[in-house]
Amino acid sequence: MDDTSIDEGPAGPIEPLPPVGARVLAVASILVAGLCGGLIGYAFTDLQVDGDNIWPALGGLAGALTAAGGVAIVAVLVLRAMGEWHVTNQRSD
């Protein structure tokens, strides 16, 4: 048996993808986390510096990237677990 074969259940090939709603929710959560991280980073940096300069914008960017990156890692792990769970359920049925 080669590694390129597709597992087939009683109703055809097993689809390892999580539902579309879960993927949309994951993307939305990443965007919300990025927005919140950017606002927090901007506000925190703005409190630390005086005058008009670029530091608050850089703080906002750093906060947005950090928050979105962290939530993206968690979202990918959750979606992979959902996909594996879905395949396991299909095989046992």
Residues contacting residue 87 through CB under 8 Å, at least 6 positions apart: 7, 14, 16
**pTM passes above 0.85:** no
d(CA 88, CA 27): 25
Q: DSSP string of 54-78?
A: SHHHHHHHHHHHHHHHHHHHHHHHH
Residue-level pLDDT, tens digit, the chain, 93 residues: 455 555 555 666 666 788 899 999 999 999 999 999 999 999 999 999 988 899 999 999 999 999 999 999 999 999 999 888 866 766 665
